[in-house]
């Protein structure tokens, strides 16, 4: 019989730090933890006052008495008082997005995606925080032949963003492998995450708003690209499981394990909204990969996790939230 090391989800996280808590995935993760009774210190440099997206994401969290919001930049805030007494750190803060990582903003990517990891790991090890869970990305795989990517595949990042995410993984693991390190690491390679409050620059948000508002959708490349779209609620469950599993110091794919083409996404959007999606074709952009698909065997074995929400169901939830927001 195959022995698995799945997470004991009955174990309770008493107090955790979530970085990037005002972001798309960080706010969903924080909410799930708060609902489970965990005290969450939510760190983000975007505050409610000056950033409407952050305000929308933080709005529901601030009503929880066990939420401690902290508006701070991880590049320069003192981290030991933040991490003190935490059972785990979920390090999601980063500059996401492939396109803007080319050119002059690269320094900002290095700071947000690599240097913050160095600071977090340094403080976590000194304070003997048990586990750091890092948000990494499927982009580390680069171009594939369309078959599923396994964690043991050789990475081939095709954009500066992807290079920073691969560096972040390796940096975490290097710290965790230091002699006598009390902190262990799980680096999760998220595959295109979607759901309510998805970042406005991401495809499904753009498709649904184009359908709702009848504004043109710019489609890059030949439209044949395939993505493994992963529902944010499924990502949150995997992320919490990664903080509890006895398995450690490795990378794990978090994806739906199935791939969908852009034209199928457009079909679902048409069906859900009853409206067509006006499309403007544009040239492919550097760094975009033709296909992503996760092999999720490791996630099933080490986290006892599998995705539950279908793309049509998840897109419907995202659409409903957009309609509520007006």
CB of 183 to ligand NAD, least distance (A): 19
By C-beta, is 268 or 294 nearer to ligand NAD? 294
Q: Are 123 and 79 in contact (CB under 8 A)?
A: yes
CB of 43 to ligand NAD, least distance (A): 6
What binding mask, one character per residue, do residues 54-83 give for ligand NAD by CB under 6 A, x or -?
A: x------------------xxx--------
Residue 269 C-alpha from the chain's centroid: 23
Considering only the stretches 89-97, 151-159, 219-227, 281-289, report the one whose residues sit in contact with ligand NAD under the rule CB under 6 A: 89-97
Binding residues among 19-58 for ligand NAD as defined by CB under 6 A: 20, 22-26, 43-46, 54
Binding flag, residue 273, ligand NAD (CB under 6 A): no
Binding residues among 184-243 for ligand NAD as defined by CB under 6 A: 190, 192-193, 199
CB of 273 to ligand NAD, least distance (A): 22
Burial 90-124 (b: 16+ CB within 10 A, else e): bbbbbbbebebbeeeebeebbbbbbbbbebbbebb
Q: Any residues with CB less than 8 A from the CB of 256 and at least 6 apart, and which?
A: 191, 228, 229, 230, 231, 234, 294, 296, 307, 311
Residue 125 DSSP symbol? H
Considering only the stretches 7-15, 94-102, 123-131, 241-249, report the one whose residues sit in contact with ligand NAD under the rule CB under 6 A: 94-102
By C-beta, is 185 or 278 nearer to ligand NAD? 185
CB of 2 to ligand NAD, least distance (A): 28
Binding residues among 123-162 for ligand NAD as defined by CB under 6 A: 135, 137
Cα–Cα distance for residue pair 90/307, rounded to 1 Å:
20
By C-beta, is 77 or 272 nearer to ligand NAD? 77
- Of 109, 141, 161, 190, catalytic: 161
Is 141 noted as a catalytic residue in this protein? no
CB of 91 to ligand NAD, least distance (A): 8
Question: Which phi-psi region, left, alpha or beta, contains residue 257 (left: φ > 0; alpha: ψ -120 to 50)?
Answer: left
Query: In 84-200, which residue ranges form alpha helices assigned H by DSSP?
Result: 106-110, 116-127, 160-176
Whose CA is closest to 298, among 214, 172, 188? 188
Residue 144 C-alpha from the chain's centroid: 21
Of 92, 124, 266, 269, the one binding ligand NAD by CB under 6 A:
92
**Interacting residue ranges for ligand NAD, rule: CB under 6 A:** 20, 22-26, 43-46, 54, 73-75, 92-96, 112, 116, 135, 137, 190, 192-193, 199
Catalytic site residues?
161
């Amino acid at each position: 019989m195959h022995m698995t090391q799945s997470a004991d989800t009955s174990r309770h996280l008493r107090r955790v730090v979530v970085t990037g808590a005002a972001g798309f995935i960080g706010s969903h993760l924080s909410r799930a933890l708060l609902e489970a009774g965990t005290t969450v210190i939510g760190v983000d440099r975007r505050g409610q006052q000056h950033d409407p997206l952050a305000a929308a994401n933080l709005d529901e969290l601030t009503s929880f008495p066990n939420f401690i919001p902290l508006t701070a930049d991880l590049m320069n805030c003192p981290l030991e008082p933040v991490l003190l007494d935490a059972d785990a750190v979920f390090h999601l803060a980063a500059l996401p997005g492939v396109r803007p990582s080319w050119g002059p903003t690269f320094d900002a990517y290095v700071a947000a995606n690599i240097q913050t990891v160095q600071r977090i790991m340094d403080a976590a090890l000194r304070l003997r925080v048990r586990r750091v869970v890092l948000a990494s990305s499927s982009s580390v795989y680069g171009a594939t032949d369309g078959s599923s990517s396994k964690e043991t595949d050789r990475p081939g990042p095709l954009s500066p963003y992807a290079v920073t995410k691969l560096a972040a993984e390796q940096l975490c693991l290097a710290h965790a492998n230091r002699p006598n390190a009390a902190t262990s690491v799980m680096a999760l390679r998220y595959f295109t995450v979607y759901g309510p409050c998805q970042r406005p620059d991401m495809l499904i948000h753009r498709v649904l708003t184009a359908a709702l508002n009848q504004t043109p959708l710019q489609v890059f490349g030949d439209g044949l690209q395939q993505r493994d779209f992963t529902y944010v609620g499924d990502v949150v469950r995997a992320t919490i499981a990664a903080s509890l599993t006895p398995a450690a110091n490795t990378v794990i794919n978090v994806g739906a394990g199935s791939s969908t083409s852009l034209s199928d996404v457009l079909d679902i959007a048409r069906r859900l909204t009853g409206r067509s999606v006006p499309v403007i074709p544009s040239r492919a952009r550097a760094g975009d990969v033709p296909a992503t698909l996760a092999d999720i065997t490791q996630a099933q074995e080490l986290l006892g996790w599998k995705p539950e929400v279908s793309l049509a169901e998840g897109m419907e939830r995202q659409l409903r939230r957009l309609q509520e927001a007006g």
